């Protein structure tokens, strides 16, 4: 466990939720703060502007703000700020300490931290792990990328486990060992920021890179490339999804099974797990092993697993109207997630897809279970349509989600599913995937009320 920063001159580059929480913490440590943000101060919301005064923090905003960063002992970068920017490189050359809120918080959490990353499934697995730990008698909270900044739970969770969801943006600045961690999967994502898949993958592998030999890293058994890459680093590797492995978690005879320290324990029938899809079964296996490795009572996990509801915007059934099921999978911001969603849903599917372009390859959609038709919209709509059309699927291209929804409802019949699984980020038309998902929920409600 590292010591907190005391009395340092700190620059916070970005004034979002995590840096506002970090600012409160650092001011409590006697640090002098100056905030740099792309927005002029007049564009901040009132609470964010008021907090600057409360913390006696300086502020530099607007065009060229990165060029104004100076005079700091430590610079904290907001998650998602590209590491290849010339300003960031010059700060490093000057010998200034460059850190991230998540890395700093984990350094303070020490042995209480459990780390989880992956291209998909992070929030579900993080939330489920904390849920299983609490049910199994171990105090735990979930925090990090899924919502609550990690720095906010450093002091409030002094006796419990903190299950940390870590994004590639947070891990890009990561140099902390975590005693128990998991990489759920690594597939191309966020190439608009990381530029290459290699750089994105290296960020994820920072979770493995800094582990000590006595620490444990969970990996998906089927991803041999990831295993080979992680094997270069210290830490014991545990396979998830392989019944032949000496240690791990897997499905056998219709049961979720955990094999830990030479003892095999059947936890619960798979049929009692509510979340659809093979990918969600894999998420459950990761969470079960993590919970038991942290001391959760296995006899209390069956009910906890069966009662877990899942998170909004992740294969969430919104309603069934006149025999047509409406499913919100707005979290699907990559083609791989949409492929998984299509595989999870039985029966005919009308797919709504498209959105902001993260410079991903949409070719994997050609291997998906074929929907009955695809209504494509947004910046990536034509790319999605091109792949599905070449695979022999009927496609239509329009302006936005409302258009796609209206077209799908004109064609959907009893027994069909209308699925929002965009294979793209939301930023061309929405602030985030949650706002997009809520827009879909609103369209379904309006449609149901009009029937």
Give the tens place of pLDDT for each residue, 195-231: 899 999 999 999 999 999 999 999 999 999 999 999 9
CA 14 to mean position of chain CA atoms: 20
Q: What percent of the chain has pLDDT over 90?
A: 95
Give the tens place of pLDDT for each residue, 107-138: 999 999 999 999 999 999 999 999 999 999 99
Please give the average per-residue pLDDT across 147-153, as a whole number. Answer: 95
CATH of 102-307, one of 3.50.50.60, 3.40.1190.10, 3.90.440.10, 2.60.40.10: 3.40.1190.10
Phi, psi angle pair for 143, to nearest 5°: -155, 175
Element at 97 (helix H, strand E): strand 97-99
Bridge partners, 374 (sequence order): 351, 395
**pTM attached to this predicted model:** 0.93
- Using the structure block, give the residue that is written with the tokens 């949650």: 434
CA distances in angstroms from 352 to 3, 98, 167, 438, listed in the order given:
49, 41, 26, 14
Give the tens place of pLDDT for each residue, 366-395: 999 999 999 999 999 999 999 999 999 999
- Taken as a whole, the chain contains a residue count of 451
Q: What architecture is the 316-450 domain classified under in CATH? A: Alpha-Beta Complex (3.90)
Which of 314, 287, 261, 285 minimizes the C-alpha distance to 135? 287
9-99 CATH: 3.40.50.720
Give the tens place of pLDDT for each residue, 225-280: 999 999 999 899 999 999 999 999 999 999 999 999 989 999 999 999 999 999 99
Whole-number mean pLDDT of the chain? 96
Measure the N-to-C terminal CA separation of the chain; round to a whole number of Å: 59
What are the sequence ranges of the domains in the chain?
A: 9-99, 102-307, 316-450
Phi, psi angle pair for 239, to nearest 5°: -85, 130
- Residue 84: the pLDDT is 81
**Cα-atom radius of gyration of the chain, to the nearest Å?**
23
Strands (E), 202-315: 216-220, 236-240, 248-252, 255-260, 263-269
Looking only at the bridges linking them, the beta strands covering 180-183 and 161-165 are unpaired
Find out whether 277 and 120 touch, Cβ atoms under 8 Å: no
Q: Is 111 exposed, middle or buried (0-12, 13-18, 19+ CB in 10 A)?
A: exposed
- Residue 1: the pLDDT is 60
Please give the average per-residue pLDDT across 410-424, as a whole number. Answer: 98
Please give the average per-residue pLDDT across 70-84, as a whole number. Answer: 91
């Amino acid at each position: 466990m590292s010591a907190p920063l005391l009395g340092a001159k700190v620059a916070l580059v970005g004034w979002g939720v995590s840096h506002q929480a970090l600012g409160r913490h650092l001011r409590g440590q006697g640090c002098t703060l100056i905030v740099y943000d792309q927005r002029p101060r007049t564009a901040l919301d009132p609470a964010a502007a008021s907090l600057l005064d409360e913390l006696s923090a300086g502020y530099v905003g607007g065009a060229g703000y990165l060029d104004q960063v100076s005079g700091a002992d430590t610079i904290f970068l907001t998650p998602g700020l590209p590491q290849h920017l010339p300003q960031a490189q010059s700060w490093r050359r000057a010998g200034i300490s460059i850190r991230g809120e998540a890395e700093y918080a984990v350094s303070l959490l020490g042995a209480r931290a459990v780390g989880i990353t992956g291209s998909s499934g992070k929030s579900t697995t993080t939330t489920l792990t904390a849920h299983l730990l609490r049910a199994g008698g171990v105090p735990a909270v979930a925090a990090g990328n899924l919502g609550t900044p990690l720095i906010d739970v450093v002091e409030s969770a002094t006796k419990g486990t903190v299950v940390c969801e870590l994004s590639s943006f947070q891990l890009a600045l990561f140099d902390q060992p975590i005693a128990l961690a998991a990489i759920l999967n690594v597939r191309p994502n966020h190439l608009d920021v990381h530029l290459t898949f290699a750089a994105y993958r290296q960020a994820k592998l920072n979770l493995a890179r800094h582990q000590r030999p006595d620490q444990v890293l969970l990996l998906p058994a089927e991803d041999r490339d990831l295993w080979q890459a992680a094997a270069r680093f210290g830490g014991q590797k545990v396979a998830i999804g392989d019944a032949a492995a000496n240690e791990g978690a897997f499905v056998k005879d219709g049961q979720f099974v955990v094999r830990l320290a030479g003892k095999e324990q059947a936890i619960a029938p798979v049929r009692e797990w509510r979340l659809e899809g093979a990918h969600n079964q894999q998420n459950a296996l990761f969470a079960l092993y993590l919970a038991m490795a942290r001391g959760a009572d296995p006899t209390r996990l069956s009910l906890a697993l069966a009662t877990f509801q899942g998170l909004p915007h992740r294969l969430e059934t919104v309603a069934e109207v006149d025999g047509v099921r409406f499913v919100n999978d707005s979290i699907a911001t990559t083609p791989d997630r949409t492929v998984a969603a299509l595989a999870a849903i039985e029966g005919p599917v009308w797919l709504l897809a498209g959105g902001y372009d993260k410079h991903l390859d949409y070719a994997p959609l050609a291997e998906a279970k074929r929907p009955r038709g695809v209504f494509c919209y947004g910046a990536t709509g034509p790319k999605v349509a091109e792949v599905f059309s070449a695979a022999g699927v009927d496609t239509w291209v329009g302006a936005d989600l409302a258009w796609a929804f209206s077209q799908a409802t004109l064609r959907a019949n009893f027994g069909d599913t209308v699925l929002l699984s965009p294979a793209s980020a939301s930023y061309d038309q929405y602030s985030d995937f949650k706002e997009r998902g809520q827009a879909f929920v609103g369209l379904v409600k309006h449609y149901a009320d009009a029937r």
